[in-house]
């Protein structure tokens, strides 16, 4: 096998990290306790997403090895062409500050989630993430953070029926719960 080019090394690194994260997520999904025994439950979508991550990570790895092969032509022409193509590829010119800021935001979100609960931590994290990526318009940050947090809350907590654990400092779940059909019919005048 020919030596690995810079691009193939970067792609293999991305593939390995993607597979590792997908494997970790698959393990975490296996810990979700389902109250029901139906085939479609709270584990279905997370399993699909985590296994898809693994499959796509493997696919990126295979593609990087496949495209690492030497093209036809002289080796000098090939090396010059690859050097020119790879000059601006990968992490050489990356803003590593933003990369580390996004990783740090993941840890901040997890910490806020335990302290403040899902909704408040999502609003704060969305606002901070927009700041990391250079958005400096306060009204846009506020509106988008609120809209995204309430949309995520509606999809995950109401439509999918996932458990929204209360934060240690704040418990907004009692304000966000949808009343049951029985509670609504009790309030009807007839």
Average pLDDT on 137-143 reads: 95
Examine the domain organization and report whether 100 and 190 are in the same domain. yes
Pick from 61, 92, 123: which residue ends a domain? Answer: 92
The domain in which residue 18 lies consists of 1-92
* Domain shared by 76 and 146, yes or no: no
Query: Are 109 and 139 found together in one domain?
Result: yes
- Label residue 32 by pLDDT band (50, 70, 90): confident
Q: Encoding tokens for residue 103?
A: 């990783």
pLDDT digits (tens, 9 = 90+) for 96-122: 788 889 889 999 999 999 899 888 999
State how many domains the chain has.
Answer: 2
Model-level pTM? Answer: 0.55
The CA distance from 45 to 32, in Å, is: 12
CA distance 11 to 61: 7
State the average pLDDT over residues 150-163.
80
The CA distances from residue 52 to 23, 25, 28, 45, 61, in Å, are 10, 11, 15, 10, 14
Do 76 and 122 have their domain in common? no
| One domain for residues 85 and 151 | no
């Amino acid at each position: 096998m020919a030596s690995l080019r810079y691009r193939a090394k970067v792609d293999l690194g991305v593939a390995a990290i993607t597979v590792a994260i997908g494997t970790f997520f698959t393990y975490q999904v296996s810990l979700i306790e389902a109250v029901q025994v139906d085939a479609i439950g709270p584990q279905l979508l997370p399993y699909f997403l985590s296994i898809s991550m693994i499959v796509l990570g493997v696919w990126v790895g295979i593609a990087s090895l496949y495209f690492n092969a030497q093209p036809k032509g002289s080796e000098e022409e090939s090396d010059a062409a690859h050097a020119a193509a790879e000059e601006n590829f990968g992490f050489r010119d990356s803003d590593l500050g933003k990369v580390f800021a996004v990783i740090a935001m993941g840890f901040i979100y997890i910490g806020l989630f335990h302290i403040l609960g899902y909704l408040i931590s999502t609003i704060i994290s969305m606002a901070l993430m927009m700041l990391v990526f250079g958005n400096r318009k306060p009204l846009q940050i506020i509106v988008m953070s609120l809209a995204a947090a309430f949309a995520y809350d509606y999809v995950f907590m109401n439509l999918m029926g996932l458990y929204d654990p209360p934060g240690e400092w704040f418990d907004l779940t009692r304000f966000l719960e949808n009343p049951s059909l029985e509670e609504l019919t009790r309030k009807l005048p007839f």
